[in-house]
């Protein structure tokens, strides 16, 4: 039994929900999102709540039940408050800057690493060692943050690289010196 799939989703004021067959569209103050719902799963709107229903107790539908509820809940949250991921840059001479619509990273390579702007995603650089990725689509925000992080992942010896703000890097001991002969 899916515990997540059974929870109803409350629709805040100012958010519109449209269900067209297998497509769910959510429109709110921050924008509009749409999601294809798997065949067989039903999205039912009752006044100010949404319920996700599955046709039977088969394992296939059970696995899609909670997933569908999470996707719709993330859409509702995205169009009302939005999502953000914060990245930190550690390392001597490592820094980030915005040049127009591009994010330019100087992270120890012989060339600067550039990321072009993506529609619907806003990248801010409040400090040279901090990057904030914001948007209404949780999947897209996470994907862009992961791509930026992959440009220079944190290494375990000195901790240099790009990491998530909440990420903890497990440090390793360096090479042990030669002990007597």
What local confidence, expressed as pLDDT, does residue 174 receive? 83
pLDDT for residue 14 is more than 80:
yes
pTM for this one? 0.87
Q: How many CB atoms sit inside 10 A of residue 153's CB?
A: 11
Q: Report all structural domains of the chain as residue ranges with CATH numbers, in order of start.
A: 3-80 (3.90.930.12), 83-164 (3.90.930.12)
- What does the alpha-carbon distance between residue 15 and residue 114 come to, in Å, rounded to a whole number? 36
pLDDT tens digits along 26-46? 999 999 999 999 999 999 999
Contact between residue 106 and residue 175 where contact means Cβ atoms under 8 Å apart = no
What local confidence, expressed as pLDDT, does residue 181 receive? 60
pLDDT for residue 2 is more than 70:
no
- What does the alpha-carbon distance between residue 149 and residue 83 come to, in Å, rounded to a whole number? 17
CA dihedral 177, 108, 93, 141 (to 10 degrees): -120
Contact between residue 164 and residue 150 where contact means Cβ atoms under 8 Å apart = no
Residue of higher predicted confidence among 109 and 179:
109
pLDDT for residue 180 is more than 80:
no
């Amino acid at each position: 039994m899916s515990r997540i799939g059974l929870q109803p989703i409350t629709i805040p004021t100012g958010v519109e929900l449209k269900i067209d067959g297998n497509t769910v569209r959510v429109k709110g103050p921050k924008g509009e999102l749409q999601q294809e719902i798997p065949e067989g799963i039903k999205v039912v709107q009752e006044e100010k709540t949404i319920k996700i229903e599955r046709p039977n107790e088969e394992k296939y539908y059970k696995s899609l039940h909670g997933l569908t509820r999470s996707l719709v809940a993330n859409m509702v949250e995205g169009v009302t408050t939005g999502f953000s991921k914060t990245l930190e840059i550690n390392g001597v001479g490592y820094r980030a800057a915005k040049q127009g619509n591009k994010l330019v990273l100087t992270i120890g390579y012989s060339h600067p690493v550039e990321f072009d702007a993506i529609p619907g995603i806003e990248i801010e650089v409040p400090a040279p060692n901090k990057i904030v990725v914001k948007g209404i689509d949780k999947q897209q925000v996470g994907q862009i943050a992961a791509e930026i992080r992959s440009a220079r992942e944190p290494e375990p010896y000195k901790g240099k690289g790009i990491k998530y703000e909440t990420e903890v890097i497990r440090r390793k001991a360096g090479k042990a010196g030669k002990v007597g002969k």
